[in-house]
Structures are given as C-alpha cells and as structure tokens.
Amino acid sequence: MPLAESTRQRVVVLGGGISGLTAARELATKGHAVTVLESGDRWGGLGTWFDWNGHSLDQFYHCQMPSDDDLLQLIRDIGLGDSLYWKPTRMGFVVGGKRYAFNGPMDLLRFDPLTFPERIRFGVVSLLLRRLGFGRDLDRTRIEDWLVSCYGRPVWEKILRPLFTSKFGPAAGDMPALYIWERLGREKNTVSRGYLRGGLRTFLDTLVENLRSLGVDLRLETRAGTIRETGDGVEIDAGSALIEADWCVSTLPLPVLRNCLGDTPLAQRIRTPDVPYQGVVNAMFFLRRPLDNYYWAPVVDSGTEFDGIVEMTELVETSHYGGHHVAYVMKYCDRSSPLFLEDPGQIAARWTQQLLALYPDLNLQASDIADVRVFKAPFVEPAYPLGYSELKPLIHDGESRLFLATSAQVYPKITAWNSSVRLAKEVARRLLDHMETVPRTKRTARLPATVQV
Ligand SMILES: Cc1cc2nc3c(=O)[nH]c(=O)nc-3n(C[C@H](O)[C@H](O)[C@H](O)COP(=O)(O)OP(=O)(O)OC[C@H]3O[C@@H](n4cnc5c(N)ncnc54)[C@H](O)[C@@H]3O)c2cc1C
C-alpha cells in the first residue's frame, strides 16, 4: 500500500547485484522511494549474463541448492517458482592429470591419490566432520589445524590444501574452520542442483520488472562516488548527478566502499575491515561433445592454471546453448595478479591447450571447441581472518544513515545468492525498524531524490 508522503522515505541502494535488488524490493514493497545505482551496464553483478549468438547466457556458472530457502522464496515471490527445475548431478576429481569419479564409497575406494588407510579415514571423517566440530571455537581455529587433526597431514597436503588454496589463495589454511563447517551440509557430492529455465537473464528481467512495478528508480551505468552524511540524510556523488536520500544501503565490496567513504567523518564510524578478496578468471568453453558429465570437478596438480571444471550441461539442456555442451573452468586469484591482468584472448588460447591435454582418452580436439569466452571479476571471495565473527562489518553502527549488505558480512555462511538474499532482507528489516525510531524531518518528505549538478 502506498505510504503518505510524510511517511515515505528515500533510500538509495548502491550496487545492482542480487543483494541490492533484493534490498530494493523489500524497501519498495513497504512503500518507500528507492533508487538503485549500478555502475555496470546490466543488472546482476556476479550473477549477470551476456549475449552469445542470440542466446542470453550466464557469465559465471550459477546453480541453486535445495537448502537455498531465502532465494527459493524470492524466486516464488516474483512468480518464477514453476521455472525452477532440479536434477541430480555428480562430482569428479582430477589429480595428477588422472580423472576420477568422486560420488560415494566405491569411488573413494578407487581413489588412488590416497593410500588405502587414508581413503578409509577420509570416508569416515567426512561422515563425522560436522559432529567433530561441534562445541569447538572454530571461528578461532585455523582450517589447516582443524582438518589436519581430523584427516591427518597426508590428506591435507594431497587433497585439501590444494582445494582450499585454489579458492582462497595461499592464506587458505589460516582461515577460520567455522567457514568450512558451515559449508558442510549445503553441498554433497551427489546432489540435486536447481536451475531456472532461461538462466540468470530470465530471473533478472523478471525481478527488475517487479521492481519497476513497485516504482523503484533503476539506474544503470551510474557509479557511486563519495558518500556523505548531511545531518538528516545522505548525499551520493554519482558523476553527473548528486543523489540525495534519507538512507543509503551499500552492497559494494568493502574496498570499493572504503574508497567511497574516503576521509569523510562517516569513514571513522563504519567498520570496513581490510579483508583480502579473491577475484576470479573464468573461461566458458562451448564444446561440440560432452566431457565427463560431472557437474563439478576440482583439478589438482594436473598442469593446468585453472583449478576446477564445471560442466554446466550436466544440469542445463544443450539447447540453452544453441546445441553446444558447456564447461566453465576457473581460477580464483588476486585482482592484481598477472593472470587477472592478462589479455583474455591469450588466456583462452593457453587454457584451450590445457583443457585438451586433460582428456587424451576422449581424443578431445581443438575442432571440438566451438568458442571460448573469458570473464573476470575482481571481488568474489573474501579470505576471512581468524575471529572474523567479531571483526565483520556491522549492518548498522546504530547512528548513521548508512546500512551495509555486502558479501563480506554473510560469514560464516558461504558467499552465494542465498546468503545475499537473506542478508539483504535482514538489512531492509533493520532499516525499516530504525526509520521508526528517527524523528521525521521536512526534508524526508521531499521527493524525488536527485539534484543535477
Ligand atoms: C564464478 C562464480 C560462480 C558462482 N556460483 C554460484 C552458484 O552456483 N550459486 C550461488 O548461489 N552463488 C554463486 N556465486 C556467488 C554469487 O554470485 C555471489 O555471492 C553474489 O552474486 C553476490 O551478490 P552481491 O549483490 O552481494 O554482490 P555483487 O554481485 O558483486 O554486486 C555488487 C554490484 O555493485 C556494483 N558496483 C561496484 N562498484 C559500484 C559503484 N561504485 N557504484 C555502483 N555500483 C557498483 C557491481 O557492478 C555489482 O553489480 C558465484 C560467483 C562466481 C564469481
């Protein structure tokens, strides 16, 4: 129901990924005047899409898990519940150039990178791992210390260290074990994964249409600059426009937010810990034939720069990709690393050779690869320090006009759409509650939110 002008407040949301769009929806549903600023030329952030020969395809592989309650609710709320389907998927493992199935006890018994006793220990400990962590202060226990104590040093060195390092970089062993413990249970090797017919574009188009119907002012190619408090509101420097609002919700990665806060008084009050982020380089291969039909296979010590393969057509029909099979391969790395800065064409050429070399038995040839697209993202996985539960940014400092909903706050939950949707809803709820406690000003009633400069 529309709010009276005197009650309606103006909120500017920074970032048009899933966090920003969800927060905007929650606030607009309650009748507030919401503006979303997104620096890119399309919505979705890390979950966005691109055009390929007339098909709208996901830039980065995305699937849904059965435990994604908040995301699944959002999907239903915007009317896409019937477009979601589920399919059992399998996992592989590539070690030393050899490819293994990795889906159950029989596969584990055949997994010869580990000795027989190590395989038995691996299986038993994996079944009990969640219970083994119970009651321990895992937020202050290093992943390496915990997993070595559970699995033994050889399993850590041969399998687990390469796996974690591939995602979080060289400091992976120093991260809090709580992050892994929380992850247990979301993912199993053989699991039903979900996908929305039409992919991320269908989801985003529907969500954005829903936001428009709620009156949200959606601005692409609008980069937020300095954020300033003005006493009874906030001002955002957005290039050719100065955006005034009563409240701001930032979903920007912490380093970007720190830049926006600069040396303003707000910067002193908002907790933005200096957490290193891993970025990602991701190559999407369009193939004329399938690979192993494992949705996901980590790649360890196999002469490749990429350290994982996601065969998306294990989950999605090839018709979605113009009849092609699709495999994404990825390397998580720092945004200042030589790989991240390298020309995409060179990466595509080198990774093509590396992919071909992994499948000699399938006689995979260059002619089996119809196309390769390389995408990069600078801020994906925060590499959390020990004790991060007490260091992580607060949703709100209790006083300012700025609320935070960034992926670096979802800890100990994993960085995923579901975590972002849950956080964004919580942030919107906290902001709505807080609005009630703050006396209204004349300025609050003035709409719309923009002053041209
Ligand atoms: C390779 C890969 C695979 C993944 N697979 C899955 C999966 O299978 N399932 C799953 O649930 N999740 C997956 N994720 C994680 C998921 O994509 C993220 O957790 C989620 O998208 C984070 O959303 P966000 O809105 O918090 O951040 P982002 O998506 O990063 O959104 C932030 C937005 O802010 C914008 N922005 C930045 N600076 C400014 C500025 N100054 N002004 C205005 N806007 C700005 C950015 O352009 C971006 O759109 C994957 C991610 C990657 C990279």
Length of the chain: 453
Is the beta carbon of 24 within 6 A of some atom in ligand 1? no
Domain boundaries defined on the chain: 10-41+220-275+385-452, 105-183, 277-382
| pLDDT at position 152 | 94
Pick from 407, 411, 406, 405: which is nearest to 390 by CA? 411
Q: Residue 406 CA: which ligand 1 atom is closest?
A: 26
Residue type present at position 387: G
CA 379 to ligand 1 center in whole angstroms: 8
Q: Which residue has the tokens 């949200």?
A: 216
The span from the CA of 423 to the CA of 396, in Å, is 12
Is the beta carbon of 337 within 6 A of some atom in ligand 1? no
- Three-class secondary structure of residue 176 per DSSP: strand
Helix axes 199-213, 18-29, angle to 10 degrees: 30
Pick from 431, 428, 50, 16: which is nearest to 221 by CA? 16
Average pLDDT of the residues in 142-146: 93
Is the beta carbon of 420 within 6 A of some atom in ligand 1? yes
Check whether the bond before 113 is cis (ω within 30° of 0).
no
Is the beta carbon of 42 within 6 A of some atom in ligand 1? no
Cα within 13 Å of Cα(312), Cβ side: 30
The phi, psi pair for 394, rounded to 5°, reads -80, 155
> Which pair of tokens denotes residue 174?
């120093």
Is the beta carbon of 34 within 6 A of some atom in ligand 1? no
Ligand 1 pocket test, pick from 35, 48, 62 with the greatest ligand atom count within 8 Å of Cβ, gives 62
CB crowding 233-267: b at 16 or more within 10 Å, else e: bbbbebeebbbbbbbbbbbbbbbbbeebbeeeebe
CA 14 to ligand 1 center in whole angstroms: 13
Do 387 and 381 meet the contact criterion of CB atoms below 8 Å apart? no
CA 44 to ligand 1 center in whole angstroms: 7
Lowest pLDDT segment from 3-17, 53-67, 278-292, 324-338 = 3-17
Strand 191-196 relative to strand 247-250: parallel, antiparallel, unpaired? unpaired
The fold of 277-382 is: Polyamine Oxidase; Chain A, domain 2 (3.90.660)
Predicted confidence band at 445 (pLDDT cuts at 50, 70, 90)?
Answer: very low
Residue 274 has pLDDT above 70, yes or no: yes
Model confidence pLDDT, tens digit, residues 18-42: 999 999 999 999 999 999 999 999 9
Which ranges in 33-171 belong to alpha helices (H)? 69-77, 105-109, 116-133, 143-151, 153-155, 161-168
Name the DSSP letter for residue 80: -
Is the beta carbon of 403 within 6 A of some atom in ligand 1? no
Q: What residue owns the CA closest to ligand 1's atom 16?
A: 416
Predicted confidence band at 3 (pLDDT cuts at 50, 70, 90)?
Answer: confident
The span from the CA of 208 to the CA of 239, in Å, is 23
Average pLDDT of the residues in 441-445: 47
β-pair partners for 377: 280
Average pLDDT of the residues in 93-99: 94
Name the DSSP letter for residue 122: H
CA 140 to ligand 1 center in whole angstroms: 27
> Which pair of tokens denotes residue 212?
């428009």
Name the DSSP letter for residue 28: H
The span from the CA of 253 to the CA of 276, in Å, is 11
Exposed/middle/buried for 16, CB within 10 Å: 0-12, 13-18, 19+? buried
Model confidence pLDDT, tens digit, residues 200-245: 999 999 999 999 999 999 999 999 999 999 988 999 999 888 999 9
Contacts for 135 with CB less than 8 Å, ≥ 6 apart = none
pTM equals: 0.94
Contacts for 39 with CB less than 8 Å, ≥ 6 apart = 221, 222, 223, 224
- Three-class secondary structure of residue 282 per DSSP: strand
CA 282 to ligand 1 center in whole angstroms: 14
Model confidence pLDDT, tens digit, residues 56-83: 999 999 999 999 999 999 999 999 999 9
Check whether the bond before 344 is cis (ω within 30° of 0).
no
Name the DSSP letter for residue 313: G
Quickly list DSSP for 186-244: TB-SSEEEEEETTHHHHHHHHHHHHHHHTT-EEESS-----EEE-SSSEEEEETTEEEE
Quickly list DSSP for 352-400: HHHHHHH-GGGT--GGGEEEEEEEEEEEEEE-PPTTHHHHSPPS--SSS
Class of domain 10-41+220-275+385-452: alpha beta
